[in-house]
Structure formats: structure tokens, C-alpha cells
Amino acid sequence: MYILGFYNLREEIVREDTISISSGAETERKWGGENMYGQQVNNGIYMLWIKAVAADDGEKQTNRKIIGVLF
């Protein structure tokens, strides 16, 4: 399971998605720039937090990336 969290630079949650995929499967996820209410976010810099949780032992890994949004 993956949890994707999109945050603004004030570390306020913009959107959160949970994705379940099989082990070893590759997947692609696109974000159209909407917040959790389906509204378009403003242009700017956002943080993407990716938390991976292993189904078998519950081990967690977290990674953070900075993304720019320009529409």
C-alpha cells in the first residue's frame, strides 16, 4: 500500500490518496493539480510525501519530493 500526501509549503494537507498494488508491480500515478475537494490548486511549489507500507510485515518507508505546479 502507498499513501501519497500532497502538502503546500506551510505543510498543510492539499490532497491524500491511498493506492494498493501488488508486490513488484509497477504503477504510474498522475496528479491533475486538484485538492481533496476537486478544486484546482494555485501555481506554486508543493511537497509530495510517499509512504510505502509492506503488507507482509508492516514495514514503512517514507520519501519526500518537491514538485512545481504551473497551469
| Tens of each residue's pLDDT in the chain, 71 residues | 889 999 999 999 999 999 887 767 767 778 889 999 999 999 999 999 999 888 788 788 999 999 999 98
- The residue ranges of every structural domain in the chain are 2-25+41-69
In SS3 terms, the chain reads as CEEEEEECCCCCEEEEEEECCCCCCCCCCCCCCECCCCCECCCEEEEEEEEEECCCCCCEEEEEEEEEECC
pTM beyond 0.85, yes or no: no
